[in-house]
Amino acid sequence: MTKSEREHIERAVALGCALCRHIGYGESPAEYHHRRTGTGAGRKAQHIDGMPLCPQHHRIGSEALHAMGRKSWEAHFGITEIELIEQTQALLYAPNDREQLRRNMVARRKLENMRDMEEE
C-alpha cells in the first residue's frame, strides 16, 4: 500500500460510516470496506475504491454487507455500494478531482455492468 493510499483510507475512515450518514444515524466509528462490485471471488478492489462502514454495516450482525451479500445489502438499504463510494469521494476531494473520479467511476460502472451481464 502506498502512502497516498494509506492517507486516503485514513481520511475516509475519519468521515465515519457512509451508510449511517446516508440513512441519518449521524457519526459512527468506521473501518474501511473495499468495493466488491466488479471484483472476482477473493480479490480486492484498489484501495481508492472503498468506503468507510461501521462494523455493524460492514462485517458484524444481520445487516452487515459481508453477512448479507452485496446485492441483498444494496436492496435492503436502497443504495448501491458504488453510490456510497461516490458520496465518500465527493466529501474527500475538490471539485476538479471529483470530476476525474466521476469519469473513472462511470467507466468502471460500464465495465462492471458488462461483467454482471456475463455472469447471468
Q: What is the CA radius of gyration of the chain?
A: 14
- Please give the pLDDT value at position 39: 58
Taking 90 as the threshold, does the pLDDT of residue 101 lie above it? no
Q: Where are the domains of the chain?
A: 3-119
- Give the DSSP per-residue string, 77-115: HTS-HHHHHHHHHHHHS-HHHHHHHHHHHHHHHHHHHHH
Q: Determine if the pTM surpasses 0.75.
A: no
Task: Report which secondary-structure segment, H or E, holds 65.
Answer: helix 65-68
Model confidence over 11-53: pLDDT tens digits?
Answer: 999 999 999 999 999 889 999 998 876 555 555 656 678 999 9
Give mean pLDDT, residues 71-80.
96
Q: Which residues contact 92 (CB under 8 A, 6 or more apart)?
A: 8, 11, 12, 15
pLDDT > 70: percent of the chain? 68
Angstrom distance (rounded) from CA 75 to CA 84: 13
Annotation: CATH topology of 3-119: Herpes Virus-1 (3.30.40)
Q: pLDDT band for position 1 (50/70/90)?
A: confident
- Please give the pLDDT value at position 112: 65
Q: Who has greater pLDDT, 87 or 99?
A: 87
